[in-house]
Each structure stands twice: as structure tokens, then as C-alpha cells.
């Protein structure tokens, strides 16, 4: 497919939608409601503006499907809603043209498809289906506002919401903002170590920072960037507190496998707080966590000692990524939680760019803070090589250790949005690889499907699914009744039909 709307030679030139996807979409439209990622529009003169708003909102949110030639959900039921596109083909022409010209920046990856079906009057006609991918940018309609998708509608965003989305997407990073911190407070041992690695002269710290892009003028006054404070100050969290940035790491070590709320928390010891320049912070936190893991933990119920078996490189990479790629405009610390059966690294902010929990293994990390990432590799012994291979290395080493792969998930429905990376301290059964691969290709799995894949009886399959739920590897969905319960990975956000695989350009 091209990076704009797919137009071929005949008519509007749209390829037919594959039968499996067409049937799923029609079923959803005829029996359901508009959702976070599905909307319908009857073709009329007023349709164009509303459709552009929906496309803009989908791109700024989680992506979605727009079906044209279908009446709104609240104005009909079943096939009575299918009007086709012949009511106003000129409106389709106008929409397809404006999809290429009216978005700033332009939305790439839009695809359009033709769907033939029987309409409300029994005639055969086309519906048009437009697939909108989630974007890594923030899009607006020229002279038409910036839109956000709600569960079943669109809403125009205000200025503060647009700014917030820019931070979240990584379009804008807090690291590049000048801050009111005295340059003298950056003249530290860490700065001198950096100069040694970078081959810089020992004079004029402010001028040196300016020349390497870590300081800039604000209202005529030269100031260090937030990245410079995070990289070189002895206590960056304290210096940046006034600008709304917390930059420490807190480590919590629990007894057992749950965080027990109450007056007396089930902590093995008081939480440990670390503060310092990122280069030193990575080493200090990594050494402390590895020492805690090496001590062995006593399970209250069994009395047995637990030995943590995570590869040391995986632990360090999780800590390094949390500090390099976190969202520094959020006033929160990085949190590390140690349980008997797992290690959790919680990093403020959500995935930037087009990365999702489901794609992070293939795509690696997104440089939300490129100044921090690029300058860290200039130290004599850099904690990162900045080659985009760290996440893949984590998956590979956990697999080699016969452990479950790292589990990534986003905390979106909490006051503090964050990415949680979980390392499970439990041997992986061979069947997990088959099940994981099956779910990546097909979506949620049922008890019956697990029985076929793993050659298990119903009871054993049910117990295995429940165990994976308790481990946090799967979540259950019984919205269609207990008999029809299915299980999905936490990384598989419910996206209506977006998990359906459409053919590539060469297949269309």
C-alpha cells in the first residue's frame, strides 16, 4: 500500500475488502454500536467534514475503521442502515481528495477498501471502508481543529490537551526545555567524566553545553536544558522540582507475591530512594536490585527460599530503558517493585511513537529523549549503545533462560500513566510459545482452542489458563457469558477488528 489513500485504476480504484474482514465488519455494524475504533457515516454533503474529524480523531488516538454508506447506529437497525454510496458519489470524491490535502501534518498509512453488499432495498451496492492507523504525530484539520476519539464519538481538543498529546506521543520532549538551574551546579565529577569520554576541553562549561546542544538561549539568557541537568547534576530531582520534574528511583521489596494494602505494608525493608545523574543512577540502582535478588527470599507459606534467575543484562536493560525513555514532564519517580515471583519496573509515561506493548519486541524502543540517549553513549563506559537492540536482547535472553518473555503493559486507566515491564521468575512451559504465537496471529484464545493446540483435556486447559491469568500473562473476557470466555494478552488492546490482517500491497 502507498502511504496515502489507496487508489487503483478502475473507478475509485479501491480493492475489495477481504471476505473475512468484510464479514466481521458487517456483523459488528449490523449488531453492535459505534465504538472507540468503529464509526459509520451515511453519504451526504455534510458527511465530508464529519468524516475528516473522525479520521483525525482515530489517528490521534488508537486508530480505527470508518464505514461510509451506513446510517448512524441510533437511526436504524440491521440492514435498514445500509444505504450504499450512490446517494452522493460526489461527496466521496471530495472526501478522498481532502484526505490527501487537509491534514497537517498529513496522515500516512490511510487505506480505503470497497465492500459489496445487499442494501436495505435489496439492491447490491458498494460501501467504502477506510482504515486509519494510530499515528506517532499529532494531526489537525486545516482550519478545522484537532480531534480526539472518545468511546463512540469525537471531541475537539483544547490547547492544553494538544500539548499533553505532543508529550505523550514523543513529538515534544521535556528534555529539550531550558530550565532555571545555575551552570555551576553542573560542574560535577560526572560532567568531567563526560568531557573525558567526549574529548571536550575543560574550560567554559556553559559554552561547551551550548555547542553540543545541551543549552540554549531563553529570552536572551543562556540556560541549560533539562537533559543537561539530568545528565550531570548530582541531585537533578531536587534541582528540577520547581519545574515539575521528579527524577529519582524508588525500590520496594515485598514479602510474597502481592502488594498488601493496609496500615502495615508487607515490605521486607523500608523503600530505598536513589538520586543522581542518570549515568550514575543506572549503575547504583542496578547494583542494589541485583544484590536484593541474590539474597534469596523466604516464602511464608512454604518456607522455601526463592532464587531469582533473571539474566543480569535483562535487569540492567529494563532499568536503563526506564530512565532513558521515561516522560520527564511527568512529576513522578521511576518505581521498581521486587516480589518473590517477579520484578516490576514502572516508568512514567506511555509508549511514544508507534510502539505498543504488542509491538515493542519487534520495534524496540523509541527515543523519546534523544539528547539523553545520544549523550549517555559518550561516557567512557556507556550504559547503552543506542542501537535499538536492547529490548530484543531482553526477549532473547529470557527465552534462553527458559523463562517467560518480558511482559509490557501500559497503565492508562490510573491517575499515573506508566509503562510496566514485568520479569517473571518462573520457568516457561513449552506450550506457552505455541499459545503466544497463536494469539499474536489470531487474537484471543478459548479453552477449546487451547485443548487443540496443547492436546489437553478441558479441565487441564482451564487450570493452565487460570494460572496464566494469575501470573498476569493473560486477561479473561467473559462479556459473552461464562461458556464463551476468551483470554487475551494484556498487550492486545481490544481494538474491535483492527487485529484482522489485511493483504499487503503486493497481495491487493
Task: Report the CATH number at residue 389.
Answer: 3.30.565.60
For residue 493, tell me if it sits in a domain.
Answer: no
Domain containing residue 472: 432-488
Tell me: pLDDT of 299 over 60. Answer: no
Q: Are residues 233 and 369 both part of a single domain? A: no
Residue 265 pLDDT class (50, 70, 90 cuts): confident
| Nearest-angstrom CA–CA distance, 190 and 201 | 15
DSSP calls for 249-291: EEEEEBSSSS---SSS--BSS--EEE-S-HHHHHHHHHHHHHH
How many domains are there within the chain?
Answer: 4
* Comparison of pLDDT for 362 and 374, the residue scoring more: 374
Cβ contact 357:491 at 8 Å: yes
For residue 7, tell me if it sits in a domain.
Answer: no
For residue 11, tell me if it sits in a domain.
Answer: no
* Comparison of pLDDT for 110 and 151, the residue scoring more: 110
Buried (b) or exposed (e) across 274-304, using 16+ Cβ within 10 A? bbbbbbbbbbebbebbeebbeeebeeeeeee
Q: Are residues 272 and 131 both part of a single domain? A: no
Q: Are residues 413 and 369 both part of a single domain? A: yes
- Average pLDDT of the residues in 132-141: 92
Q: 10 Å Cβ neighbour count for 361?
A: 17
Cβ contact 393:324 at 8 Å: no
Tell me: pLDDT of 506 over 70. Answer: no
- Average pLDDT of the residues in 322-340: 94
For residue 4, tell me if it sits in a domain.
Answer: no
Q: Are residues 474 and 455 both part of a single domain? A: yes
Cβ contact 65:129 at 8 Å: yes
Domain boundary among 382, 404, 424: 424
Which pLDDT score, from 0 to 100, does residue 505 have?
A: 37
Percent of the chain with pLDDT over 90: 51
| Nearest-angstrom CA–CA distance, 391 and 382 | 17
Which pLDDT score, from 0 to 100, does residue 501 have?
A: 41
Q: Are residues 374 and 291 both part of a single domain? A: yes
For residue 3, tell me if it sits in a domain.
Answer: no
Could you tell me the CATH number of the domain that includes residue 161? 3.30.950.30
- Average pLDDT of the residues in 279-290: 96
For residue 506, tell me if it sits in a domain.
Answer: no
Cβ contact 216:223 at 8 Å: yes
Domain boundary among 136, 169, 202: 169
Among 170, 190, 181, which residue's Cα sits nearest to residue 363?
Answer: 170
In this prediction the pTM is 0.80
Q: Are residues 23 and 158 both part of a single domain? A: yes
Tell me: pLDDT of 480 over 80. Answer: no
Q: 10 Å Cβ neighbour count for 200?
A: 18
Tell me: pLDDT of 336 over 90. Answer: yes
Cβ contact 217:170 at 8 Å: no
DSSP percent split of the chain into helix, strand, coil, nearest 5: 35, 20, 45
pLDDT one-digit tens code per residue, 212-238: 999 999 999 999 999 999 999 999 999
Q: Are residues 286 and 408 both part of a single domain? A: yes
- Average pLDDT of the residues in 161-174: 89
Cβ contact 317:364 at 8 Å: no
| Nearest-angstrom CA–CA distance, 467 and 279 | 39
Which pLDDT score, from 0 to 100, does residue 282 have?
A: 96
Q: Are residues 272 and 232 both part of a single domain? A: no
Q: Are residues 342 and 378 both part of a single domain? A: yes
Most confidently modeled of 47-56, 253-262, 485-494?
47-56
Q: Are residues 457 and 406 both part of a single domain? A: no
Cβ contact 160:148 at 8 Å: no
For residue 78, tell me if it sits in a domain.
Answer: yes
| Nearest-angstrom CA–CA distance, 251 and 333 | 10
Q: Are residues 270 and 220 both part of a single domain? A: no
Angle between the 47-60 and 89-101 helix axes, to the nearest 10 degrees?
40
| Nearest-angstrom CA–CA distance, 431 and 295 | 31
Residue 507 pLDDT class (50, 70, 90 cuts): very low
Among 225, 230, 325, 234, which residue's Cα sits nearest to residue 278?
Answer: 230
Q: Are residues 287 and 185 both part of a single domain? A: no
For residue 370, tell me if it sits in a domain.
Answer: yes
| Nearest-angstrom CA–CA distance, 56 and 229 | 37
| Nearest-angstrom CA–CA distance, 42 and 74 | 12
Residue 297 pLDDT class (50, 70, 90 cuts): low
Domain boundary among 144, 169, 194: 169
Among 227, 241, 336, which residue's Cα sits nearest to residue 288?
Answer: 336
Tell me: pLDDT of 145 over 70. Answer: yes
DSSP H/E element including 488 = strand 486-488
| Nearest-angstrom CA–CA distance, 106 and 102 | 8
Amino acid at each position: 500500500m502507498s502511504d496515502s489513500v489507496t487508489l487503483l485504476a478502475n473507478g475509485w480504484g479501491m480493492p475489495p475488502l477481504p471476505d473475512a474482514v468484510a464479514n466481521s465488519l458487517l456483523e459488528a455494524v449490523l449488531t453492535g454500536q459505534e465504538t472507540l475504533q468503529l464509526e459509520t457515516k451515511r453519504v451526504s454533503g455534510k458527511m465530508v467534514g464529519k468524516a475528516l474529524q473522525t479520521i483525525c480523531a482515530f489517528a490521534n488516538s488508537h486508530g480505527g475503521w470508518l464505514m461510509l454508506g451506513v446510517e448512524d447506529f441510533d437511526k436504524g437497525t440491521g440492514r435498514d442502515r445500509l444505504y450504499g454510496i450512490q446517494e452522493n458519489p460526489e461527496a466521496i470524491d471530495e472526501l478522498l481528495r481532502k484526505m490527501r490535502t487537509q491534514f497537517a501534518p498529513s496522515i500516512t498509512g490511510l487505506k480505503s477498501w470497497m465492500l459489496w453488499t445487499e442494501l436495505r432495498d435489496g439492491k447490491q451496492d458498494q460501501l467504502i471502508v477506510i482504515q486509519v492507523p494510530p499515528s506517532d504525530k499529532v494531526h489537525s484539520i486545516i482550519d478545522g481543529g484537532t480531534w480526539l476519539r472518545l468511546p463512540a464519538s469525537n471531541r475537539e481538543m483544547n490547547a492544553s490537551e494538544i500539548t499533553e498529546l505532543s508529550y505523550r506521543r514523543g513529538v515534544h520532549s521535556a528534555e529539550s526545555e531550558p530550565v532555571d538551574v545555575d551552570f555551576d551546579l553542573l560542574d560535577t565529577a560526572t560532567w568531567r567524566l563526560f568531557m573525558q569520554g567526549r574529548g571536550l576541553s575543560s574550560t567554559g562549561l556553559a559554552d561547551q553545553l551550548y555547542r553540543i546542544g545541551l543549552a540554549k538561549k531563553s529570552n536572551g539568557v543562556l540556560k541549560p536544558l533539562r537533559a543537561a541537568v539530568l545528565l550531570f547534576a548530582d541531585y537533578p530531582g531536587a534541582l528540577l522540582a520547581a519545574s515539575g520534574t521528579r527524577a529519582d528511583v524508588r525500590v520496594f521489596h515485598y514479602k510474597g507475591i502481592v502488594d498488601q494494602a493496609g496500615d502495615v505494608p508487607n515490605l521486607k525493608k523500608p523503600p530505598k530512594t536513589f538520586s543522581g545523574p542518570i549515568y550514575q543512577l543506572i549503575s547504583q540502582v542496578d547494583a542494589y536490585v541485583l544484590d536484593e535478588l541474590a539474597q534469596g527470599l523466604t516464602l511464608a507459606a512454604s518456607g522455601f527460599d526463592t532464587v531469582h534467575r533473571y539474566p543480569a543484562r535483562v535487569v540492567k536493560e529494563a532499568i536503563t530503558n526506564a530512565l532513558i525513555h521515561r516522560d520527564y514532564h511527568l512529576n513522578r519517580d521511576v518505581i521498581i517493585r521486587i516480589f518473590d515471583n517477579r520484578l516490576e519496573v514502572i516508568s512514567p509515561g506511555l509508549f511514544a511513537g508507534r510502539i505498543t506493548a504488542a509491538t515493542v519486541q519487534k520495534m524496540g524502543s523509541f527515543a523519546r529523549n534523544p539528547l539523553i540517549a545520544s549523550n549517555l553513549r559518550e561516557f567512557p563506559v556507556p550504559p547503552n549503545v543506542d542501537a535499538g537492540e536492547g529490548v530484543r536482547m531482553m526477549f532473547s535472553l529470557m527465552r534462553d533462560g527458559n523463562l517467560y518473555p518480558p511482559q509490557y503493559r501500559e497503565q492508562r486507566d490510573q491517575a499515573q500513566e506508566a509503562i510496566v515491564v514485568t520479569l517473571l521468575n518462573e520457568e516457561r512451559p513449552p506450550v506457552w510459545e505455541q499459545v503466544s504465537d497463536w494469539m499474536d496471529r489470531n487474537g484471543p484464545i478459548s479453552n477449546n482452542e487451547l485443548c487443540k493446540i496443547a492436546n489437553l483435556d478441558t479441565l487441564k486447559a482451564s487450570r493452565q489458563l487460570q494460572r496464566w491469568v494469575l501470573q498476569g500473562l493473560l486477561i479473561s473476557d467473559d462479556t459473552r457469558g461464562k461458556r464463551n470466555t476468551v483470554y487475551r494478552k494484556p498487550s492486545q488492546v481490544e481494538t474491535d477488528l483492527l487485529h484482522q490482517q489485511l493483504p499487503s500491497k503486493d497481495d491487493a
